Amino acid sequence: MKSTSKIIVTLTLTALLGACSHHKPTHAILVKPRSQIKPNYIPHPLGERTVTDIMQIYGKHVTRKLSNYFTKAKVSFPPKAIALVALKQEKKLELWARDNKEFRLIHTYNIRAASGVAGPKLRQGDKQVPEGIYRIEGLNPNSNYHLSMRINYPNEFDLFHAEEEGRTEPGSDIFIHGWAVSIGCLAMGDETIEELFVLTAKVGAENVKVVIAPHDPRVYPLNIDSDLLPEWTAELYDDISEEINDLSTTAKSAQSMGSVSVNATNQ
């Protein structure tokens, strides 16, 4: 009897995890107080929500929180561009942004779940969170995981090396989403994904960069410490390190000139 119960629980969890990219929600979207919705505005029903619906439901509340972060960092809101730096080992996601000046650290979020280990994603079903430099391909207001933002994995770098090595199924459907479960995605929790979703909608997905690293290269270098990783991982880690270190360098430069970048707080 106990074995049967365990099997049922396992199958249920597997079904939920496998639905990361689906557009029909498996649970009701958590809605902020209706007073935030503009008078006479009627959102589409669950499963048919648009980005406009999400902005009407969450926009006012989220914008107030985001504005506080940006004010402390002395960056205009909404900014012209943002960079999301995900650190797998530390389970942190840094929000960087710029207006007409350099990028500055705005806020740091906890990553609630990120499956896999250090190393790039190589194939469908390996449960690895990718590592690399990505863009946001689109916003999903009807995610099974509250809200989600799809990243462009596999990008050109991933596809080039997959083809070179004869890997025909490098995987796909990688998202930054709500909840706290992951099979290759970055699960941020519902409140955090509301902030990231609204901010991305305001800035424009084309102005959002996503950098995913195995750990923070500002603490210790991204070295290949496993024979299981492909040789090209060294090139990938050099690119990732350069992206993250460039952000930090501009922040230090601004600080030395008298502009103090905010020390991000966890949520």
Q: Is 20 a catalytic residue?
A: no
Q: Three-state SS string across 126-182, please?
A: CCCCCCEEEEEEEEECCCCCCCEEEECCCCHHHHHHHHHCCCCCCCCCCEEECCCCC
The helix (H) or strand (E) run that includes residue 105 is: strand 104-110
| Cβ–Cβ < 8 Å for 92, 109 | yes
With H, G, I as helix, E, B as strand and everything else as coil, classify residue 264.
coil
* C-alpha span between 154 and 134 (Å, rounded): 9
Sign, Cα dihedral of 181, 138, 205, 37: negative
User: Which listed residue (44, 61, 177, 215) is catalytic?
Assistant: 177
Q: Is 177 a catalytic residue?
A: yes
User: Which listed residue (20, 107, 161, 185) is catalytic?
Assistant: 185
Give the active site residues. 177, 185
